[in-house]
Amino acid sequence: MALYSEKVMDHFRNPRNVGVIEDADGVGEVGNAKCGDIMKMYLKIEDEIIQDVKFETFGCGSAIASSSMATEMIKGKPLEEVEKLTNQAVAEALDGLPAHKLHCSVLAEEAIKAALEDYRSRQS
């Protein structure tokens, strides 16, 4: 059996929404280089809807795939729905992750939450 599912390898090989949004409305960065994983999410938000999302990731195959999948899951979605995104949902959408790689999906959830928090704090 391969280390990763086909879905993970697809998102790793062809990551969706890689890049930067220069005039992002919210930016979130989680993880640290010491542990070997850093994720950064950029959100463009209009009318409480994610109009655009981009990510940058320093990390292993599952970290890149989790970021990619998470961006696909929130793009075009209303914020109240995005706020409910869990790491389990990301991992399930990838047809599962090896147990020692589940923290990658946690990072994806946290990166999005951090970006939303940044957006809210800019609003207030």
Partner 1 sequence: MKIYADNAATTKMSKTALDAMLPFLTEIYGNPSSLYEIGQRAKEALEEARATVASAINAEPNEIYFTSGGSEADNQAIRSAAVIGARKGKKHIVSTAIEHHAVLHTLKKLEKEGFEITLLDPHENGIVRPEELAAAIRDDTCLVTVMYANNEIGTIQPIGEIGAICKERGVYFHTDAVQAVGHLPIDVKKEKIYMLSASAHKFHGPKGVGFLYARKGILLSNLIEGGAQERGKRAGTENVAGVAAMAAALKEAVDNMSANAARLTALRGRLIDGLSQIPHSALNGDAEKRLPGNVSFCFEGIEGESLLLLLDDKGISASSGSACTSGSLDPSHVLLAIGRVHDVAHGSLRLTLGEDATAEQVDDIIEAVKEVVSYLRGMSPVWRDLMNGKGRFIL
- What span, in angstroms and rounded, lies between the C-alpha atoms of 117 and 70? 17
For partner 1, which stretch binds (CB under 8 A), given 30-38, 45-53, 77-85, 114-122? 30-38
**Is 35 an active-site residue?**
yes
35 binds partner 1, rule: CB under 8 A: yes
For partner 1, which stretch binds (CB under 8 A), given 13-21, 74-82, 84-92, 112-120? 13-21
Closest contact distance (angstroms) between CB of 12 and partner 1 is 7
34 binds partner 1, rule: CB under 8 A: yes
**Is 104 an active-site residue?**
yes
63 binds partner 1, rule: CB under 8 A: yes
Q: Is 62 exposed, middle or buried (0-12, 13-18, 19+ CB in 10 A)?
A: buried
Near partner 1 in 77-116, by CB under 8 A: 100-101
Q: Is 112 exposed, middle or buried (0-12, 13-18, 19+ CB in 10 A)?
A: buried
Print the SS3 string covering 61-114.
HHHHHHHHHHHHHHCCCEHHHHCCCCHHHHHHHCCCCCHHHHHHHHHHHHHHHH
Residues that bind partner 1 (CB under 8 A): 9, 12-13, 15, 18-20, 29, 33-40, 56-61, 63-64, 100-101
